[in-house]
Structure 1
Amino acid sequence: MTFEDILNNLKKKIYHPIYFLMGEESYFIDQISDYINQHVLTDAEKGFNQHILYGKDTDIDTIITYARRFPMMSSHQVIIVREAQNIKKIEELESYVKNPLNSTILVLNYKYKTIDKRKTFSKLIGQKGVLFESKKIYDNQLPDWIKRYLATRNYTIVPQASMLLAEYLGTDLSKVSNELDKLIISLPENSQITPDHIEKNIGISKDYNIFELQNALGERNVLKSNQIINYFSANQNANPFPRTISSLYQFFMKILTYHFLEDKSQNAVASSLGVHPFFVKSYIAAAKQYPIRKVVEIISTLRDFDMKSKGLGNVSSSAGDLQKEMIYKILH
């Protein structure tokens, strides 16, 4: 079952006796667990029928003892085990999994780790309840995730704004969702979010950011490229050099990939590069400015400056000076 399937079933009051929520991305685990915590039982029912346990302070026998109790004046009881990854020999829960109580909803938050899906224990959970793996999303998936998250709250976002947020917030979905929630609060209902909104409410400059730098470099606009890199140099905390190098490396790798594509239609390019179709024209324009040999040279330059940013082959140059030198070598 997907994250959306599980939440939709919960909203329809379709419950399972066991929810084993595991994986690297804590956001989805927290969302499912919190929904069960907040919505399955009424406040009056929670007093006798809802229990929160912690993996480091409990054991399998205690969990089974709680799980085998019957609810009082309620159709269900809820047991949430947080930090279940700290429980030793979690597979010993198998005796309960074989024959769980339908009146118990047992939720195990098994964060940052997974259990072997090939083993009997995992298969039993899948048969008797829900075995959900919460996977980290990739960088190129984040803009679409932001778009979907906002759509569930009746907001839209322009592609430039979603890319900007994705680049500067990273793939920590808890952090991203918190920033989006704060942004929503400051805007009228059903708004379309633009870079102007992001600059005003989150503090990411709409004119001096990595995407404007990429566009300026792609156009070989020397003046604008230098204006942006000078801003980066003066604002290192908001624009760390390693992130700039990483973003430019990905940008020029995409240009190199474009050069070797046989099908250069917009949809084919967007699919091959893993970008929104809106941005395809900027890669086409950049490819015209940078032939294959120059792109290969730039990628090598970026690797050199990555090493220098880590202190290898660099004795005294500041990050700001290195950034300016790097941009000069890219453009000339």
Structure 2
Amino acid sequence: MTPNEALKQLKNGQVKNFIILSGEDHYLKQHMLSAVQGALHIDMPELNLSVFEDRPDPKTVLCAMETLPFMSEKRITVIKGTDILSAQAAGDLSAAYMQSNMPASNFLVILTQGNADKRKAFVKFVIKQGMFVECNTMQDQDICAFVKNRAKQKGLMVSSKNAQVINEIGGGDLSTIANEVDKLSCICKGEISTADIEKYAVKSMQYNVYKIHDLMMGGHPQQASALISKMLEEDSNPIGFITLLSNNFRQMLVARACRDAKFPDRKTISHIVEATGAREFAARRALEHCKPFTAKKLRDAINKFAQMDFDAKQGVVSLKTDLFALLVDIYST
């Protein structure tokens, strides 16, 4: 089931005794764990909440699972960040939990590392009789809805456009996005405006790379130069800066190849995401921004970035003095 489906079930008091929170999105899994704990109303958690991590001793976990609640109607056992349900884990390290004598008042919640292997017996058991929640990476429209809903909870309005900007600033990471919305809610009055986001939100390096590209493409090289200088003042050799610049062109190269092959837009976006690991909004950007470039120009740009990255590591060039000149060369050819 999806997180939204699980939240509706929890709201209706339909909490199953065995719960697996699977998927790549750590924030969603933590959010769902909090929702489960809230729905159960555990009294005296210091005595009725047992938390384990990684690969705990099954006997210790079973002991916690089978211990009756103390001065509470319910008790919960949590295993965080574990790979015991992954495809890479040998055997079935969770089989014992399925055979436990856990009382009806108790609950077991497992937060997996990545995705759980649905072929494992315990996972099949939970899918059938418990709650198997797939906390997968959210699509852009879902993240924007998340931003708007979180802002609403703080008594603020935010437009769909600005919700997308916050998504891009946070790089699609829900934890970062939630923190930015919470911070803006302490500053803004009534509405989160474009000016508020620009002034107060902490921009990721990836977001600044996109902004540099937009400024160069929009005919504002001096503003791009000022942003680069500001970034390099904070860190004279930021790790991954050249890589992110290059990745932007790599995404556009994939988009250009798909366009040249006359792929439909939806297929092109999916291919960019699959081939480069980009978020959906980045794939959409690449699809739009590849139009002025030929495939050859994009490949040449990627090669130039690779050469500069090598030369910078060798001390042959300095990003402070040579990076902007390279960008002028790339965007003017």
Same fold (TM over 0.5): yes
Aligned match of 1:5: 5
Matches within 5 A, 1:1-332: 1-41=1-41, 45-46=43-44, 50-55=48-53, 58-71=56-69, 74-85=72-83, 89-96=93-100, 101-110=103-112, 112-136=113-137, 141=139, 143-153=140-150, 154=152, 155-159=157-161, 161-189=162-190, 191=191, 193-204=192-203, 209-219=208-218, 221=219, 224-236=220-232, 237=234, 240-251=241-252, 253-254=254-255, 257-258=258-259, 260-261=261-262, 283=288, 287=291, 290=292, 292=294, 295-311=295-311, 315-330=315-330, 331-332=332-333
Aligned partner letter, 2:118: K
Question: What amino acid is the match of 1:326?
Answer: L
> What are the superposed Cα offsets for residues 53-89 of structure 1, whole Å, 9 maximum, x if unpaired?
2236952223223323444565433222334448993
Task: Provide closer, same or farther for how the CA distance between residues 21 and 127 of structure 1 changes in structure 2, counting only shifts above 3 A.
Answer: same
CA spacing shift, 1:168–1:120, aligned 2, 3 Å? same
Give the drift of 1:15.
0.6
Change (3 A) 1:296 1:122: same
Identity within the alignment, %: 17
Query: Offset of 1:9 from its aligned partner?
Result: 1.4
Q: How many residues align?
A: 307
CA shift digits 1:134-179 (9 cap, x unpaired):
3345xxx4x43431112223243343x4454444433432222212
Unaligned 5+ segments in structure 1 are none
AA of the residue aligned to 2:111: N
Superposed displacement of residue 308, structure 1: 2.3
- Give the CA RMSD over aligned residues: 3.9
Cα distance in 2, alignment partners of residues 317 and 310 from structure 1:
9
* Contact 1:82-1:109 at 8 Å conserved across structures: yes
Q: Secondary structure at the match of 1:235?
A: helix
Distance 2:46 2:293 in 1: 70
Q: Deviations over 1:33-60 (max 9, x none)?
A: 1222344215xx3358722222369522
4-13 vs 225-234, which moves further: 225-234
Q: 1:304: Cα distance to partner? A: 2.7
The answer as to whether partners of 1:307 and 1:313 remain within 8 angstroms in 2 is no
SS in 2 for 1:316: coil
For 2:95 and 2:145, the matched residues in 1 are separated by 36
Shift of 1:186: 2.0
Listed as ranges, the gaps of 5+ residues in structure 2 are 273-279
Contact between 2:27 and 2:175, CA under 8 Å: does it hold in 1?
Answer: yes
Q: Deviations over 1:262-288 (max 9, x none)?
A: 768xx9998888559x979x938x73x
